Structure 1
């Protein structure tokens, strides 16, 4: 049901998948954030996503895209304009999560980005996304990266 809270890793992964699609649409077709949020809330797939995460993250990414792109520009090896729109969408999500979603471990952010690139990107884009998000984690989550893996008690 729209507006209901979906929890769990699978629901959050599906929210990221919708965000890749929405950010891609925004880049290619120029739709506004509000139009895309309304469109995706009507999508049957929306019932299976972490709606709270999508409703918080997508507008935040969309509204701070220029700032996120400046951060991405410092970690990539080519001009931002040369990035594939899918890769850029995935990096926007990853950098946003590394910067603003401290509740998500950096390794999860990287893994999710790699999986999104495997699903939506070109044949080798997952390797590029992995390297870029690893570099972003070094900058944005330095203490967490240096501390090493989290252990569960």
Structure 2
């Protein structure tokens, strides 16, 4: 039995789909870009060099990361209209999650909106 540290509560291993894992890595990439200013090519190269990232959809990762960073100004404009605070008040994590979701909702029309919302939540 696999248990959470000190709780005795059983923890089931998470079998994440390659697409879900790609989204997680894109959010990490957006975070890295937001905090350090690293460009998409460097972020992608860094991720590809990592050995312990698990199974992820590399094509999807590249498409989403490059798309979000290339269109971040437009995505921010779409997002600001629906925020209850200035964009700069979002934490880097909130920013990454929301920017990816806005990109997928506006640019990846083949992905059902329910999937995008579920992944963002």
TM-score, normalised by the number of residues in structure 2: 0.83
Question: What 5-or-longer segments of structure 1 have no aligned partner?
Answer: 1-8, 115-153
Q: Which has the higher helix share?
A: 1
- Alignment partners' CA distance in 1, 2:55 and 2:24: 11
Paired residue for 1:70, among 77, 80, 83? 77
The residue aligned with 1:53 is 60
Question: What 5-or-longer segments of structure 2 have no aligned partner?
Answer: 1-15
Bigger Cα Rg: 2
Does 1:90 pair with 2:97? yes
- Alignment partners' CA distance in 1, 2:76 and 2:114: 21
Please give the root-mean-square deviation of Cα atoms over the aligned residues, in Å.
1.3
- Alignment partners' CA distance in 1, 2:23 and 2:46: 16
- Alignment partners' CA distance in 2, 1:76 and 1:35: 30
The residue aligned with 1:18 is 25
Shift of 1:51: 0.9
The residue aligned with 2:9 is none
Aligned partner of residue 48 in structure 1, secondary structure? coil
